[in-house]
Amino acid sequence: MANYYTQEGLTKLKNELQQLKSEERSKIAKQIAEARDKGDLSENAEYDAAKDAQGLLEMKISKLEQLVADAKVIDQSQLDTSKVSILSKVKIKNTNNNAEFSYMLVAEEEADLNSGKISIQSPIGKGLLGKKVGDKATIQIPAGKVKFEILDISL
């Protein structure tokens, strides 16, 4: 299954992968070597902890490699702004209290609420996908059901 990213998001993912492979791998290898030098491995908690950390790092590297391999960069010029889709900037209004919000829908790994980027996998993201300006969406969030009106869709 393809994962869709902005060019910026994919570059960030590749940089993280490179950092894990180069810097983090060598740090853990050094920790393992230092722990091994302390003697009996059967009772060496430092060695066990370093080996566990190595296993977790390799799992993370493997997951990132798969994400990068399956990644597709979205050509924003090809996006349709008549309905909400990934990379859409959506201005919505909570019809209960008239509060307005603007969000950009992005891949889960790019989501950053502080930057106004929400995942298309989030409840609000899923609830907005495919909607058009003027549509209303009732979305189940942790605080309960909220009704939003789509005010604007842009790139």
The whole-number pLDDT of residue 77 equals 67
Domains located in the chain, CATH noted: 3-73 (1.10.287.180), 77-154 (3.10.50.30)
147 with 95: CB under 8 angstroms?
Answer: yes
Task: For the chain, give percent helix, strand, coil, nearest 5.
Answer: 50, 25, 25
Question: Amino acid identity of 120?
Answer: I
The whole-number pLDDT of residue 36 equals 83
The whole-number pLDDT of residue 2 equals 63
Q: What is the pTM of this model?
A: 0.62
Counting as low any pLDDT under 70, the low residues of the chain are 1-2, 76-79
Question: Amino acid identity of 148?
Answer: F
What is the per-residue pLDDT across 78-111, written as a single tens digit (0 to 9) for each?
A: 667 788 888 889 999 999 899 999 999 988 888 8
How deeply is 105 buried, as exposed, middle or buried, from its count of CB atoms within 10 A (0-12, 13-18, 19+)? buried
129 with 105: CB under 8 angstroms?
Answer: yes
**Helix ranges, 7-144 (H):** 7-19, 25-36, 45-70, 123-128
